[in-house]
Amino acid sequence: MGFVTRLAFGLSIALAAPLAPPAAAQTLRIGMQAPPSTLDPHWLLNLANTGALRNIYETLVMRDDQMALRPGLAESWRVVDDTTWEFKLRAGVRFHDGSPLTSADIAASFQRVPNVPGNPNPYSIYLSGVTGVEVVDDLTFRIRTSGPLPILPTNLTQIFIVPRSVAGLGNPEFNSGQAAIGTGPFKLGSWSTNAPLVLRRNEEWWGGRVPWEQAVLTPIPNDPARVAALLAGDVDFINNVPLQDAARIAADRRVALFAAPSIYAVNIYPDVERASPPGVDANGQNPMRDVRVRRAMSLALNREGIARQIMEGYAEPTDQPVPPFVFGAIPDRALPAADLNAARALLAEAGWGQGFGLNLFCSPARVPRICQAIAAAWTRIGIRTTVEVVPQATFLTRRNRREYGVFVTVFGSLTGETSYLLSSQIHTNGTVPGLGTLNFTGYGVPAVDAEIARARSTLDDAERNRLLRALVQRTVDEALIIGVGLVHSAHAGNANLVTKARADEEVLAVEIRPR
């Protein structure tokens, strides 16, 4: 796929005279924008959790920094027939408690994923289509599926494996540390909510020598404070460099900037279903149910200006909700220019020439300034827009309850193809287990669901790519999810450190090394 070649670079800028190296090169101190909210690897799917917990837990299939698949806990896999895959585990892998990794642990982990009580955003979408796991022997197992499932290896990059001895325990036992047992390069040292996550080197890690005795991931959500901590030497590495500070950091000889295109897109999610959703002031109506209104909202946006001025050039403008280089996206789609007059005409045609009011709800990470630009553009065409930035934990809770009429957030194509967005955000929620779990717009069309199912089960890559592109095209044409721009992964660290910015934006301590 073009995905790999387009991401085959990272930018590392360092000048000279670095800060002192990490103390005795034994402890790596990382300042994180968002802390993990749990130690449970199957609870609340989001980047803050998966990125932090991948230091502790591992998956059967892994991805490198450019999102290419590589063997993880499984050393190989093959298709047996249309509904059966066979996997071989690595020999000699042990969990942090000393127990050996076996096929029974895989079966227990798969069983746990969809059955964690009260899970607000489960990982079960990645097991949609999986009907069971058959243990063949300690190192061999077979995954049964309801039909052809070509994306299975891709999906398994997101399913963390735990010992069967703890698979029956709940979220509280994992958060206490009792059950937080993985196979990864680091063991749990200590953690509590909003406190640093302390990791200790796993001396028995199958992947080789871990460069740090200890890694400490400290939450520093305030952007200026996180940058200041790096420049003062209080931390050795920070994630999610504020884009307005990227040039300053790149010019500072004491530190290095690591940047590369990412899989994350800034998207707008309008409610296309409910008659009168929250935050919409339109005489008890929902204008966004009309595709002409949504197209007007999209047409009003100056995406080039947002990418260049607000995102400081560390972004690519796009109106599709996925990166153009992932499998199933539209790679050569021309970006429509902003056209306020055409947008006003569409509103008038839809019967909303007098305009209406909106509250635009925004997640706090990276998008508040973008939200202000969106609000200004919409106000110019008659959609009087007020921005409300919501703290992250509250934002997710309210989003899950569908308390927003329209919101902006960052979405990542975590599997490297568009089937993830289509299956989770376009497919009707509640009709197929695991699908539509992130559908917060209320969109649901049986014929579209059928096309998504067809694409997910098509083994021929060229045909699957064609089907997925057609679905993405429909998403864009109907402005079901309105793409704004693709963000770059941008991190920074002490110039004595070396790493590559990952396209998935995860920060893995084992991949950060002393020069």
pLDDT in tens, 181-217: 999 999 999 999 999 999 999 999 999 999 999 999 9
What was the pLDDT predicted at 19?
A: 64
Residues 244 and 312 sit within 8 Å (Cβ to Cβ): yes
The pTM for the full model equals: 0.83
Provide the strand spans (E) within 363-496: 383-389, 406-412, 482-494
And the tokens for 426? Answer: 């376009």
**Domains of the chain, first to last:** 262-488 (3.10.105.10)
Which tokens hold the place of 274?
Answer: 């409910």
CA dihedral 97, 98, 102, 104 (to 10 degrees): -40
Distance CA 371, CA 107 (A): 44
**Where do the DSSP E strands lie in 227-290?**
237-238, 255-270, 280-281
Q: Reduce the DSSP state of residue 141 to 3 states and report it.
A: strand
Lowest mean pLDDT among 149-158, 180-189, 364-373: 364-373
CA 170 to CA 232: how far, in whole Å?
40
End-to-end CA distance of the chain: 32
Q: Which two tokens stand for residue 204?
A: 């028995």
Q: In the numeric block, which tokens belong to residue 34?
A: 């968002």
Q: Give 163's pLDDT tier (boundaries 50, 70, 90).
A: very high
Residue 483's pLDDT is 98
Give the residue-averaged pLDDT of 297-303.
99
Name 359's bridge partners: 386
What pLDDT score does 20 carry? 60
Confidence at residue 16, expressed as pLDDT on a 0 to 100 scale: 39
Predicted pLDDT of residue 324: 92
Are 503 and 490 in contact by the 8 Å Cβ rule? The answer is no
**Predicted pLDDT of residue 21:** 58
The residues with which 264 forms a beta bridge, in sequence order, are: 412
Cα 515 to the center of its chain, rounded Å: 29
Two tokens at 249? Answer: 């950091």
Measured distance CA(509)–CA(515) in Å, rounded: 14
* pLDDT of 366 over the 50 cut: yes
- State yes or no: pLDDT of 6 exceeds 80: no
pLDDT digits (tens, 9 = 90+) for 475-511: 999 999 999 999 999 999 999 999 999 999 999 999 9
How far, in Å, CA of 261 to CA of 420, rounded?
Answer: 19
Q: What is the pLDDT of residue 312?
A: 87
Q: Express each pLDDT in 83-138 by its tens digit.
A: 999 999 999 999 999 999 999 999 999 999 999 999 988 999 899 999 999 999 99
Give pLDDT, residue 8.
30
Query: Residue 165 belongs to what H/E stretch?
Result: none
Average pLDDT over residues 329-350: 97
d(CA 90, CA 72): 8
Alpha-carbon torsion 251, 256, 261, 265, what sign? negative
Minimal CA–CA distance to 114: which of 434, 474, 430? 434
Is pLDDT at 12 greater than 60 in this prediction? no
Closest CA to 49 of 61, 57, 41: 41
With a CB cutoff of 8 Å and minimum separation 6, the contacts of 212 are: 22, 25, 26, 27, 28, 201, 509, 510
pLDDT of residue 393: 77
Mean of the per-residue pLDDT values of the chain: 93
Report the half-sphere exposure of 457 (CA within 13 A, side-chain side). 17
1: pLDDT strictly greater than 80: no
Task: Average the pLDDT over 363-378 and give the result.
Answer: 94
